[in-house]
Amino acid sequence: MGRVQALINELAKNFYEERCAGCTPDTEPSYEFVIEVHWDWDRVTQLVYESLINSGLVGEYKGRDYSYLLNITPYAASMIMLKWWGDRNHPRLVEIKRNLRELVLRVKEVFWEDITASRVKREIQMAASQYLKEAEKPIIDLFAFYRDKVPVRVYRKFVQANIDYDPEQKTIYVSGLDSDVGHLIGKGGAKVKQFTEQTGYKVVFVDDAQAQHD
């Protein structure tokens, strides 16, 4: 949140014209510019929207031979809107548009990792849901147990691994994870032990050569 606010504070310094309610003409603007502040991850949209509204940037501005209105549309659309009265080729218009584009680009860069993680989580949920329709309860419990206990990268590979359940032995066999298996076993087998204690099922991580069992 602090990083977003710092970017918006920097943007606000570039709006130095006189602020005056009612100083834009009562006519159609010479030019309109709109840039989206809306992405798939709703929290980013909400943070930027609230920060922009609280910044006091919304309003009418008057320059020597131009005037403009800056507005922020509500959550659902989440766009920065600029209405301009004056020469469409005015250097100041070019400058304002550049400042707004840079703000949106830099905010996206700031939150890129979080946005990416959000999309990956949705991909995981979609991949897991198809499997869960056919899976038995022990395997459903296994996915639920590890969902928040391993990195997103490992969990995505985990839900696509080879998994079998032996009801007689109450044992789940997982293969095909290679070096990532350490994340699932835990230090000294701590995660495997915790899963068994919570569910009563054993889980065995094996390589492809050992995956065959009776």
Q: What is the pLDDT of residues 148-207, one digit of tens each?
A: 888 888 888 888 888 888 888 899 999 888 778 888 998 899 999 999 999 999 999 886
| Segments making up each domain of the chain, as ranges | 2-110, 123-210
Q: Which overall architecture, per CATH, does domain 123-210 show? A: 2-Layer Sandwich (3.30)
- Pairing label, strands 171-175, 162-166: antiparallel
Has residue 133 got a pLDDT over 80?
A: no
Helix (H/G/I), strand (E/B), else coil: 204:
strand
Helices 190-199, 137-146: inter-axial angle, 10-degree rounding: 130
Task: Indicate if the pLDDT at residue 9 is higher than 50.
Answer: yes
Percent of the chain residues past pLDDT 90, beyond the cut: 31
Please give the Cα distance from 208 to 206 (Å, whole number): 7
| Residue 83 DSSP code | E
Q: Is the dihedral of CA 34, 40, 42, 44 positive or negative?
A: negative
Cα–Cα distance, 106 to 127 (Å, whole number): 31
Domain 2-110: assigned CATH number: 3.30.310
Q: Report the interhelical angle of 112-134 vs 42-54 (nearest 10°).
A: 150
